Amino acid sequence: MRFGDVSFSVASHTAWAPGLDTAAAWLEWAHGRAQTNTAAADPKVAKMPPMLRRRASVTGKMALETAYACLPEHATADLPVIFASRHGECARSVELLQELAQHAPLSPTAFSLSVHNANGGLWSIARGDRGNNIAIAAGASTVEHALIEACGLLADGAQQVLLVMADSPPPEIFSAYSDCAEQGFAWAWLLQADDKAQAHTGERFSLSWTAANAPSAPQSDDALPGGLDILRFFLRRDAELTRAADGRRWCWSRHA
């Protein structure tokens, strides 16, 4: 029994990870001919004012780099944006908790940037953007829930929605709970409604979901994070991708 489905098109897209900063490099990665390089430099986020850029974490810089790169020059200032991340700024939160345990004074700036919507805040300040700005974390199905939220905004009348997915490995203290090969990455899709008037302006997709018939089998330690699994499906131009996560069977489809 199908629980629900949404359709959408992708007008533009971009991605960034250490050592993968061009479209050609990402295509090589999608086909198994390239890997990320943790020794590579952080993204420059050149379009953001330096005072704000310096506040962003590595995860934040990756997210912001792809967000800026995905937008066309004529994009409206108040475009709705969704920043999705499974782990968010948990590294900063852990640092603050460790300082608190040592009775050290906490940095107000570090505290303000440890929340899940920190990067959305930097984005809106830098762009003077008063549009809808949402932060989402939903475990292993973070991308799917962010996509459903984006399609809801499109159904409510938004012409386009910017979806940004970014993650970094959580702190070592959480290593015992890892369920995939965590790695740093970010990608952005500029989404629009999937209808006949807009179909020619971007690739068309749908996402449907049902209850999982059985408990999801544990992922192997070398499995890709959900965000990269979905990106690989997108870049390889696969027809379908089925994922089991958080009690749901998620079915991604590409349409001609």
Check residue 2 and give its pLDDT: 59
Q: Point out the residues of the chain with pLDDT beneath 50.
A: 1, 196-197, 199
Nearest-5° Cα angle at 247, 243 to 250: 30
Q: The pTM is what?
A: 0.91
Structural domain count, the chain:
1
pLDDT digits (tens, 9 = 90+) for 106-115: 888 888 888 8
pLDDT digits (tens, 9 = 90+) for 190-229: 999 987 445 456 789 999 999 987 655 555 556 889 999 9
Domain membership of residue 71 as a residue range? 2-255
Check residue 41 and give its pLDDT: 83
CATH at residue 29: 3.40.47.10
- Name the amino acid, one letter, at 26: W
Check residue 55 and give its pLDDT: 92
Check residue 86 and give its pLDDT: 93
Partners of 135 in beta bridges: 83
Inter-residue contact 89 to 115 (CB < 8 Å): yes
